[in-house]
Copies of this chain bind each other. A is one copy, B any other.
Amino acid sequence: MALRFAEKAAEAYDFPLTIGHLLDTALVTAADQEIVYRDQVRMTYRTFRTRLGRLASALSGLGAAEGMVIAVMDWDSHRYLECYFAVPMMGAVLQTVNVRLPPAQVAETIVRAEAEILLVHRDFLPLYEAIAPLLTRVGRVVVLMDGDAAPPPAGVAGEYEALLEQSAPDFVFRDFDENAIATTFFTSGTTGSPKQVCFTHRQIVLHALAANGPFGTTRARGFGIDDVYMPLTPMFHVHAWGVPYIATMLGVKQVYPGRYEPATLLRLRAAEKVTYSHCVPTILQMVFDAADKSGADLSGWLITIGGSALTQALCREGRRRGMEVVTGYGMSETAPMVSLARPRPDGDGSEDSLVRAFTATGVPVPLVSVRVVDEAMRDVPADGATRGELVIRSPWLTPCYVGNAQASDALWRGGWLHTQDVATIDSQGTLQIRDRLKDVIKTGGEWLCSVTLEDLVSSLDGVQAIAVVGVPHPQWGERPIGVVVPQAGRSVTVETINTHLETAIASGELSRYGKLERIELVEDLPKTSVGKIDKKLLRARYAGLFEPAPQAGPQPATQPATQPALQPGQEIGAS
């Protein structure tokens, strides 16, 4: 029996957790605070709020209504931020379109989301025009331009700024149910076709409250009034990790860099005194390279790294430059914040200890309940070594894959969201992602971590890049193969690699089943739209390698006389 208020005052305000309320404090405390777009726009939060009204009026004039999906294709801009707020605040649903997908998939996502209004930056008009015939449901198109005088192309409903100018700022945003859907977008993972996730107002507000760096490094306890925020993760990617919502809630100065051009990023960082950003490792490396060319000072910049693992080398490189570089972990399905790295309470404060701590996957943020479990959903020991799948509960996880009940049920099997990530957890709650569940190689009753193998081999002379994948094998279930890009003019053989691996096997770092079955030499490794190695494609390419006529059985270095039986639940962490 749930207790409810029996005698609430008639006029007591039932405060819903809607995105509009994220503005309440900021408009009172930070009305004169700035929002900056490159060197083109500089406006106050007060103006921002006026423009939200105008944007909602303009969209309303184009037929937007509650529940309608409105899609955006833009660089990181103040306009995108306006859509982050105005579209959900009017009860419509914001679709953040991943413009890096192949054109056919971009079209697919817009069609499947049932978007009816599309806002497109001029730079993406060629893409739009290529797929326009497929977008039969999109009735209105608004073009976003960066101050160029050229008129918008024929056939569009108008240009963003002109529409805002013509529209009244006094749109009435009303309260509604916090469980209304606010945003939707598609996962761009390495597996399968894009899956559609969605998030409610309540979820985005709770994420903003809980993910404001509650822990962590000295500086990472959340935004202060002197912080300046610039996203370096595309705004189509999981709400730019939700940080624009957090920064706006707190009235922090925000800088939107448009298309990521290294020189512009560094110029904005210096001119606007940016203190906080977040990005994938590739972008951080790009920033380092640009800073080396220009001699830019990067000190005092705190950057959260996600998307791929932050290596110790990259972390050290940032710290050498006076930055703080810290791992965050999350997924499209998780809105995205799950965990943040922080110094260990038992750390010795040394540089090595901090680097190890900041490159770990981190500890869960408040209201994220984590477990690392075996296949029977039993918790594995919290010893920092035993592997299992990371499953989570939190108030801000996608409740489904839209239109895909089967995938939804798999995602939420047993009442926990399955991350498909293989992780360890230690007694201090520090998570370490070891591999994708799909990339784990199940061989001889043990689980091999493909990332571990790649790490061990990637430093070998002659190896420029390597991906390790499991390939079906009639005798061993799967066997690992290495897809290798050799260094120019160098040769590399499976024997060389396996000899190298023997040390790791002898030390217990690698399973005795960990030798590669064979290698394939390639010129390039295939990548997904977000730049990760496309292991799904590799698995498909080499799926028949050992079947129907296997070349050879594996020759584990120390194969046990009696093969251990496969016992579900004991498999994980056995390696």
Contacts and interface: CB of A to CB of B under 8 A. Distances in A.
Interface of A: 1-5, 7-13, 15, 17, 21-22, 24-25, 28-33, 66-67, 91, 93, 176-177, 179-181, 198, 200, 205-206, 208-210, 212-216, 218, 221-226, 249-250, 342-343, 345, 363-370, 382, 393-395, 397, 399-400, 402-403, 405, 408-409, 411-417, 425, 427-430
Contact of A412 (B3, B12, B25): B12
Given A28-B370, A210-B209, A365-B25, A180 B3 contact: yes
22 contacts: A2-B179, A2-B180, A3-B91, A3-B179, A5-B200, A7-B400, A7-B405, A7-B408, A8-B408, A9-B408, A12-B408, A31-B427, A33-B345, A209-B209, A212-B214, A214-B250, A215-B224, A218-B224, A221-B223, A221-B224, A226-B345, A250-B366
A4 B414 contact: no
B180 A399 contact: no
- Copy count, this protein chain: 2
Q: Which 5 A-B pairs have the closest CB atoms?
A: A2-B177, A29-B429, A9-B408, A28-B429, A221-B221
B414 A7 contact: no
A367 B28 contact: no
A411 B9 contact: yes
A11 B415 contact: yes
B222 A11 contact: no
Majority SS of interface residues in chain A? loop
A195 to B, nearest CB: 12
A399 B15 contact: no
Residue among A1, A2, A10, A17 facing the most chain B CB atoms (10 A cut-off) = A2
Contacts of A216: 224-225
B409 A11 contact: yes
Residue among A13, A91, A370 facing the most chain B CB atoms (10 A cut-off) = A13
A221 B111 CA distance: 44
Given A25-B429, A366-B250, A393-B15, A181 B5 contact: yes
Contacts of A66: 1, 3
Contacts of A205: 367
Contact of A13 (B25, B222, B365, B393): B393
A29 B221 contact: no
Nearest to A367: B21
Contacts of A370: 28
A400 B12 contact: yes
Contact of A25 (B21, B212, B368): B368
